[in-house]
Amino acid sequence: MDPNALYIALFIRDDPPRPNDYHWALYHHRINSGIKYHITNEGNGWIPGHGPESGTGILKAFLLVGLIQIATIPSTTSAEETLDRVCRSYDGHLNDSENRTCRTWLLDVLKDLREQMGVLHGVDIISLEKEAMDWGNQYAFEACQNVQPRPVEKSMYMA
């Protein structure tokens, strides 16, 4: 994986997997470590599940479909702090919307990152969502079979 890269991580929910039905997370890979940002629903509503995650750890995560690189984050303390702040900005009000899901949370965070950091400049977030869904559908059955290594690819917007 590329250092300073930001990835969408997709996880299957069922075996066999259903098309377009994933748990969505962001993974920021740094040189020797990383951070996984996501929210989970524990039955009583959504809670943040952010925390450290190594590159090898996330690639071996249970039910992971794979990672799609969507941006590169500058390797400055300021940029990393902004990324962290934006990813955590919804933590206090995750349950304020009936329509909140891990996918809508991630899409909202991406819009905020575009506005506050300039990453994903010119990228249509809805098109990126469709690309991720189509990509996930291509590899979902491999996740059920625990095929290794998991795919790590760049979004068409990284070209």
pLDDT at position 135 over 80: yes
In a 3-state reduction of DSSP, which class is residue 75?
A: coil
3-state helix, strand, coil in the chain (%, to 5): 35, 25, 40
Tokens of 140: 């979902």
Q: How many domains does the chain have?
A: 1
pLDDT at position 74 over 70: yes
Is 96 buried (19+), middle (13-18) or exposed (0-12) by CB count in 10 A? exposed
Q: What is the pLDDT of residue 159?
A: 65
Q: Does residue 68 or residue 43 have the better pLDDT? A: 68
pLDDT digits (tens, 9 = 90+) for 92-132: 999 999 999 999 999 999 999 999 999 999 999 999 999 99
pLDDT at position 47 over 70: yes
pTM of the model as a whole: 0.96
In a 3-state reduction of DSSP, which class is residue 54?
A: coil
Residue with tokens 């930001």: 6
Domain that residue 90 falls in: 5-158
- What per-residue string of b and e applies to 25-56 under the rule 16 or more CB within 10 Å gives b? bbbbbeeeebbbbbbeeeeeebebebeebebe
Q: What is the pLDDT of residue 140?
A: 97
Q: What is the pLDDT of residue 31?
A: 85
pLDDT band at 39 (very low <50, low <70, confident <90, very high): very high
Percent of the chain with pLDDT over 70: 99
